[in-house]
Chains A and B, each alone.
Chain A
């Protein structure tokens, strides 16, 4: 259900598998938005919940108010997924006919799939479900881009670049550069900017 009176608040969910850099990406994104003057609330969990399991960060981007760190069911405006199965998992709880999705195409098999007890949905099934459950979706292999740049974990920054490319949030390259300059070494800074640009160019 969409909030009646919070049309001004944008709800974004960043999801993936523990170890994919979900938390780093949500921090970078939130940092940019805070600098731009928004009141941002992030909800997430760390610790053992990260070990190989599904991870999710909820970002509430409001012009003026602290929001609940958990987005209401069916209340996502944008979903950014580092793994397609996790995109589906989040969509089925927080999706609605108006939601936009940007998803990495590269899958990570859950243990039940590795052991053969369960099946990973086929690419076709995933694309069909995306089409039925979203208003707009972009899907591309961000991990492959990360690997070309030298590290698969850069897929998180590739996805942020793609998010900027969609124009769904008021973020751009300049803001991203300013944000990561605060924490990264010059070498990593340049590499992250490359990943951002590569992601941005995936959105047409």
Chain B
């Protein structure tokens, strides 16, 4: 991606995440690590594409905690480094982070957390801003694309100025939005890695990197915040737009400041509302914030999900009786804005309209009625496994094995595209009733398996993806084996971190930098633990079904089935059909067949459709990926597969 290396002064369209990557390059970052997770992945991905020849090490680490540890080592050796993750990744990294903020850092170290208000591509609405307060590290939040770049660069300088990690928080609407950025310069010289550890214990620049003596180091961490606050008071990332004496002061940060500006404009309130956009959200610069709070009697705090900014503004105001007297605060606690979900310009405009008791311009009632009537007739487009997705075949076999076993077995779910088996239960044929964090499926399964003495009789299965296996499953798997948990553990190995865009993981022989590296074999790891292991192609429904049926019958031990088949969207498979699929209209009996439309009503492949005119199944050639699985499910053998001559041969 040469765009990321555009010359200084050029104006480029950057994804928010690319702007963050560019900022890191302009800061002279030497080591960048992360674990893939939407909406964070493109920061590391884009850095990896330009690393060669730049004295830059980029790594997809096994999980977020290790990513932060690898980045911290570089910082301890005086280099600039960053670790990048999605919101819940910060939870994974948080144990190390607690100790890291206590030992302090040397070379600039930036933790980038890209969060997902509204959970557009997550199964949680986790907040990492509170970690900044809890672990006493500075928090920066960019509000546009230029700032995403400039602020990232400055975050490294700030980290070095105080000797502690700095957190930069983005959100989906910043990370995955794009906008114009004017590029800056790259640094001329590169640093050498040197790790000194012969100095006094309280000197984090030369002494040992440890979090003890705990109380003394804690006080030192708090002292650093005074320096941070002084720098924040003068920061250009905090700015005020509006009249000298507004009726209402709107305090905001992050992408919300774009919604706020748009909402003020929509209502024509530019002369009555002032916007204080804060880029340095923790610790708040007290003089700057109180100076602006004095301007207005009404204060509205606009932010997404939790009331982190509102709470901190109110704490600041409460410390000064003159400041808080006669003020009305609007935000989440009074119900003006919701505590959950993402915001948009309309939600902010509605809040302002309510406070100012004005009516928003609306479209004509007849148009709105027409739109409402049209919306009511639209069938929803729910998420589904793609055409050719190996997960559909895997769940088909899992469902059938559970049904044959007839003890009401169930699957503990995990995080990946296969989460859709829980999110839209029909996608997983109603087999997967639990879904939590990465690796939790295996931990939960091991727990259910220990409930037999309490009368629990259902067999327990669990699934995880190949990347998830390395990330967080291994300890739970060892726990299950060691405690003789009767669990059927299934790895849905689709040969890459597919959901986030095919980043490599430790099972792949290539790393982020496209170098050849040793792969860690999942089957070998499971065998080393002592588990019984079988590897199967999920597209072979008969073989997969037979193994699963045997596993469910074999009681009292941990059984591992690795279902290996590359993702249909993987670069080596995408657009290449293995089979040309066709429904033989003579053989398909339609509604007269006893199958009750098994193929279209139950199997749920987006390419296998029901022709309402002919009243028979049909293949949508544009959508079909040619995996051939549906040919195995038709009781009439009416779905016919013909090998495509130049087909991609699935390697397994």
Contact = CB atoms under 8 A, between A and B. Distances in A.
Interface of A: 1-6, 17-19, 27, 30-31, 34, 39-49, 51-54, 66-74, 85-86, 88-89, 91-93, 95-97, 106, 108-116, 118-121, 125, 129, 132-133, 143, 147, 151-153, 182
Contact of A46 (B39, B261, B382): B39
A47 B379 CA distance: 22
A39 B182 CA distance: 11
Interface string B151-184: 0000000000000000000001110111110000
24 contacts: A40-B180, A45-B172, A46-B38, A46-B501, A49-B121, A51-B417, A53-B383, A66-B179, A68-B344, A69-B173, A72-B349, A85-B381, A108-B623, A109-B606, A111-B381, A111-B382, A111-B426, A112-B382, A114-B608, A115-B601, A115-B602, A129-B374, A132-B370, A133-B374
A97 B349 contact: no
Contacts of B384: 51-53, 111
B253 to A, nearest CB: 14
B308 to A, nearest CB: 21
Interface in B371-408: 371-372, 374-375, 377-386
A111 B606 contact: yes
Interface string B601-640: 1101010111000000000101100000000000000000
Interface in B58-80: none
Given A43-B173, A93-B371, A114-B600, 13 more contacts: A3-B265, A17-B381, A39-B179, A66-B180, A68-B345, A72-B349, A96-B367, A108-B606, A108-B620, A111-B604, A115-B600, A115-B602, A118-B379
Interface stretch (B25-33, B208-216, B297-305, B357-365): B357-365
Most A CB within 10 A of own CB, among B172, B345, B610:
B345
Contacts of B620: 108-109
A11 B201 CA distance: 58
Contacts of B363: 1, 74, 96-97
Contacts of A152: 622
A68 B381 contact: no
A72 B13 contact: no
Contact of B604 (A85, A114, A129): A114
Contacts of B121: 45-49
A34 B3 CA distance: 13
B179 A68 contact: no
Q: Which 10 A-B pairs have the closest CB atoms?
A: A47-B38, A47-B121, A118-B379, A69-B177, A92-B375, A52-B384, A110-B381, A42-B178, A68-B258, A92-B371
A70 B344 contact: yes
B113 to A, nearest CB: 16
Given A1-B362, A45-B121, A85 B379 contact: yes
Contact of B176 (A44, A85, A111): A44
Given A47-B39, A114-B610, A41 B381 contact: no
B381 to A, nearest CB: 4
A108 B381 CA distance: 10
B379 A120 contact: yes
Interface string B233-262: 000000000000000000000010011011
Given A70-B345, A121-B377, A47 B500 contact: yes
Contact of B13 (A34, A44, A73, A106): A34
Contacts of A6: 262, 265
A70 to B, nearest CB: 4
Contacts of A88: 374, 378
Contact of A1 (B177, B361, B374, B499): B361
Contacts of B177: 41-44, 69
B600 A72 contact: no
Contacts of B120: 45, 47, 49
A95 B179 CA distance: 24
A113 to B, nearest CB: 5
B551 interface: no
A156 B425 CA distance: 32
B419 interface: yes
B470 interface: no
B144 interface: yes
B420 A48 contact: yes
Contacts of B501: 46
B436 interface: no
B606 to A, nearest CB: 6
A51 B346 contact: no
Nearest to A23: B176
B178 A41 contact: yes
Given A69-B173, A72-B346, A115-B600, A48 B383 contact: yes
Contacts of B193: none
Nearest to B416: A48
A71 B13 CA distance: 19
A133 B367 contact: yes
B371 A95 contact: yes
A88 B381 CA distance: 12
A86 B417 CA distance: 23
Contact of B11 (A34, A67, A118): A34
Given A41-B178, A88-B378, A72 B345 contact: yes
Given A4-B268, A51-B383, A72-B344, A116 B601 contact: yes
A22 B384 CA distance: 18
Contacts of A73: 346
Interface string B329-345: 00000000000000011
Contact of A68 (B261, B379, B602): B261
B145 interface: yes
Most A CB within 10 A of own CB, among B3, B377, B379:
B379
A110 B382 contact: yes
Contacts of B7: none
B145 to A, nearest CB: 7
Contacts of B386: 18-19, 51-52
Interface in B262-297: 262, 265-268, 270
Contacts of B652: none
Interface in B295-337: none
B266 A1 contact: yes
Interface string B136-147: 000000001110
Interface string B565-601: 0000100000100000000000000000000010011
A31 B259 CA distance: 24
A120 B620 CA distance: 15
A152 to B, nearest CB: 4
A119 B612 CA distance: 10
A81 to B, nearest CB: 13
A92 B372 contact: yes
Contacts of A48: 38, 121, 383, 417, 419-420, 499
A127 to B, nearest CB: 12
A30 B265 contact: no
A169 B420 CA distance: 38
A121 B144 CA distance: 40
Nearest to A69: B177
Interface in B490-524: 499-501
B179 A110 contact: no
Given A67-B258, A108-B623, A116 B597 contact: yes
